Every structure is written in C-alpha cells, then in structure tokens.
Amino acid sequence: MIDASGLSVELGGQRILSGVDLAVDCGSLVGLVGPNGAGKTTVLRTLRATLTPDEGAVRVAGERLADLSARAVSQLVASTPQTTTLSFEFTVEQAVEMGRTPHLGRFDRADEADREAVQAAMERAEVARFADRAVTSLSGGERQRVLLARALAQATPVLLLDEPTANLDINHAVRTLELASSLVAEGKTAVAAIHDLNLAARYCDELVLLADGEVRAAGAPRDVLTTETLGDAFDAETLVTGQPGFDAPLVTPLADRDPVDAHVHVVGTGTQAAAAVARLVAAGLTVSVGVVPAGDAAAERATELDCEAVTVPPFAGVDEHSRERASELAREADAAVLAGDAGDANQSVVAAARRLVAVEGEGVPRVESGRTTVTDIEGLPEAVAALPDYDERKSRSERVRQERQDR
C-alpha cells in the first residue's frame, strides 16, 4: 500500500533523512520508533506529501504522491499531528467535520452521509460526548482523540499517526492503539510514530527503527528491538525480555547509576514474580527464584535472564530437596522478594529469609512486621538497597555469585 524508497531530505542545510526505505503492506500497522530528532515526523511528512523529498519517491496505492493534487492526496492519506493545538474556537463536532473537506466541493454543504461519517468517527474515537464542547476547553489527551476522529472522518485507506499516545493516560493509550489495530484489521493501513517502545512492540505488525535520519533496523518487533540495535540507536543500555501475556519484546532501560550489589531471592509465581525478576536483574542484582513450577512465567523469565530457578514439574507438589535449595537461597540472600502468589508450599522458603520485601498484590498482606512493602515493581531495587546493613551483606552476595559459577 505504501512504498517509499530512497527518501532523502535536507532542511536548513542539514541532512535530515538519508536513503530511507519503507514498505507497508495493506492492512498492517507499522511503528516508527527511534530517539528524539531521528526523523520520524519528517518521514510522516513525506508520506502525506507536505514535504517533498530531495531524493526518492513515495507511492501510495500505486500512485506517486508527487503526481497527485493535494485534494487527491487527502483522499488517500489522513494524519494526526504531534501537537494538539487548535487555535480557533471550534466545537469538537466542527473540528471532526473538517475531516470531510476532501470529499466536498468548494461550496458544498455536508450531507447526511457526511454527518453519519462524522458521528461514527466521533464514536470510534470516544469523543461523541464532547461533540458540543469547544476544542480549546478539552484536555490535551481529549484533543488528541478529537484529531484522531477528524482523521477517521476523512475515510482514507491510509492513516498516519504522529505520537498518537503522547498525551494519553495508559488506559487511553492502550485503547487508541487497540483502535488502530482494529482499523487495520478492517483493511486500513497505518503508520504511527510511537515513543513508547513496549506499546509499539505490542501493537505494531512491524517496526522501523530510525536514528540520525537512517533506518537502523526494520521488521518484526522482536527482530528490531534488540539490545544491540537499541544501544546503537539510543546510545542506551537496555534489557530486552518478553512482555507477560503478549508475544512481544519488553524493553527495560537500564538506569545510568551504580547497580545495587546484592543477591535477591524471589518467591512467587506468575507475571508479578516475572516482572520482579526482570526489574531486579535490570538494576544489576543477582537474582534467584523458587520454588516455582516449571513453565510458570517467573521460571521462564529467570531462565531467559540466566538466573537460578528452583523448579518442580507443574502440579507435582514441592519435594523436600527443592524446598531445601530454595530455603538455602532465601537464607543466603540479602533479601527475599515476595511477588505474586507464592502458595503454601513456599511458606518455609519465605520464613528462611531474614529480610523480606513484599510487592503489594493479591494474597500479599499490606503491612506485616519485619517486612517492607512496595506498591510497585519499579521501586523494588531501591527498597532492597534501603534495607539496613547493606555493606556487610555485599561479601555474602559475592559468595553466592561465586557458588553459582562453580556449580
């Protein structure tokens, strides 16, 4: 549907894009990712012909955009801008009606079909209840959805979204990308510049990673978002694992601070425990897990990240040997972390730990003496580092690390 080849753009004497190729199949959602200033918006501008590349060409549905009138282009391509400023006092409905312009003659009035298209677009973008409000009275996120409705009212086969989730809370961000997914499932073709790599990975069929105006990687999210390509494009160290419950990579940026030097034993199962393992490893801790059934998300994440996991076959119960080993790890650890459902079988493992950080959640009591409770996985490494006697414990953590290597 979209075929851009060899796009090069120079602006203000600066090379902004160099030889960018982009092919987007009909009915797919392609995400443009990359650091600030990489050229994502510039690519989108060439795809809607508001910027003519110095070299290369863009074809949409087989037509060279450079050969088409502005009106013909706007019947093929609709877009939502990155900024949501609308300077006039339009109502939401009037703003969405503007999307119908390419389908109307210069002095035509909107007819029933136009009104229906506007109503349907407002409903899909969840702004129908604001129809009579002035756009300027809406929040940034609400305005963003109005702009999406305007693009939907344009009823084009191609949709270009520049940072469609930038001002949205997590619920609306997910809903907007769900909407983009269902639109492409219905046959639209979409390209979206998205900063959130994990949302991009989850919702896009393919990703194009741009940096310094060049394509650094393109293809399935799993092939594009690797520590190598991300290190190259963002100049940042990242940990790439899997998103619990989704067949998509999970990118965790590693903070530019000294890692917390300690060994933590994680007790628990499921996505909570898996997320705890990933967060602790990302912070540079030595992590072990168990007892956990083989195949559980926490066991798989531990294996993926090269952590020791004490596992038992699913539904087999916990044998004495496994319980002993997990208790030993919990005892040796600087702290144990309780995340997700640990089950009765792990009670003695938890009891063996001298210090415990619990991640608040189902089955984990909020306050208990001798326990630090954190409400979010993000804060786990800091909670561990804040435990008393940290320096004295460093040597033990070294010993555990050595034991693992020897084994």
Ligand X SMILES: Nc1ncnc2c1ncn2[C@@H]1O[C@H](COP(=O)(O)OP(=O)(O)OP(=O)(O)O)[C@@H](O)[C@H]1O
Report, in Å, the least distance between residue 367 CB and ligand X: 43
Nearer to ligand X (CB atom), residue 9 or residue 380? 9
> Is the CB of 15 or the CB of 354 nearer to ligand X?
15
Residue 360 CB, nearest approach to ligand X (Å): 35
Under DSSP, the state recorded for 353 is -
Please write down the HEC assignment for all residues of 202-243. HHCCEEEEEECCEEEEEECHHHHCCHHHHHHHHCCCEEEEEC
Q: Which one, 213 or 249, has the nearer CB to ligand X?
A: 213
Q: How does 221-243 read in b/e, with b if 16+ C-beta sit within 10 Å? A: beebbbeebbeebbeeebbbbbb
Query: How many chain residues bind ligand X (CB under 6 A)?
Result: 13
Q: Taking the complex as a whole, how short is the minimal distance between the CB of residue 185 and ligand X, in angstroms?
A: 27
C-beta closer to ligand X: residue 40 or 265: 40
Residues 115-154 that bind ligand X (CB under 6 A): none
Min. distance of Cβ 14 from ligand X in angstroms? 5
Closest distance of CB 78 from ligand X, Å? 19
d(CA 188, CA 193): 16
CB 357 within 8 A of CB 383: yes
* Stretch 40-69 residues interacting with ligand X (CB under 6 A): 40-42
Closest CB to ligand X among 8 and 348? 8
In whole angstroms, give the CA distance from residue 403 to residue 8: 55
Give me the 174-193 binding string for ligand X, x by CB under 6 A, dash otherwise: -------------------x
- The nearest distance, CB 80 to ligand X, in angstroms, is 14
Phi/psi at 392 (5° precision)? -60, -30
CB 224 to ligand X: min, Å: 16
Q: Closer CB to ligand X, residue 41 or residue 198?
A: 41
> Nearer to ligand X by C-beta: 225 or 302?
225
The answer to whether 251 touches 229, Cβ cutoff 8 Å, is no
- For tokens 């075929």, what's the residue? 3
Minimum CB distance to ligand X smaller for 34 or for 102 = 34
Interacting positions 182-241 with ligand X (CB under 6 A): 193
DSSP run (H or E) holding 143? helix 140-153
**Of 51 and 155, which CB lies nearer to ligand X in the complex structure?**
51
To ligand X, the closest distance from the beta carbon of 191 in angstroms equals 12
Both structure tokens of 41: 């918006």
Classify residue 380 by burial, with Cβ atoms within 10 Å: 0-12, 13-18, 19+: buried
Beta bridge partners of 218: 208
Give least dist CB 58 to ligand X, A.
15
* Separation of first and last alpha carbons in the chain: 55
Question: Angle between the 170-185 and 140-153 helix axes, to the nearest 10 degrees?
Answer: 10
CB 273 within 8 A of CB 292: yes
Could you tell me which of 16, 4, 92 has the C-alpha nearest to residue 48? Answer: 4
> Which residues within the stretch 303-332 sit at the binding site for ligand X (CB under 6 A)?
none
Binding map of ligand X across residues 4-43, x = CB under 6 A, - = no contact: -------xx-x-x-----------------x-xxxxxxx-
The least distance separating ligand X from the CB of residue 163, rounded to whole angstroms, comes to 7
Q: How far apart are CA 289 and CA 147, in angstroms?
A: 47
Could you say which DSSP state residue 254 is in? P
Q: Closer CB to ligand X, residue 12 or residue 62?
A: 12
Q: Rg of the Cα trace of the chain?
A: 26
- Return the C-alpha torsion angle 47, 53, 57, 63, nearest 10: 50
**Interface residues toward ligand X, by CB under 6 A:** 11-12, 14, 16, 34, 36-42, 193
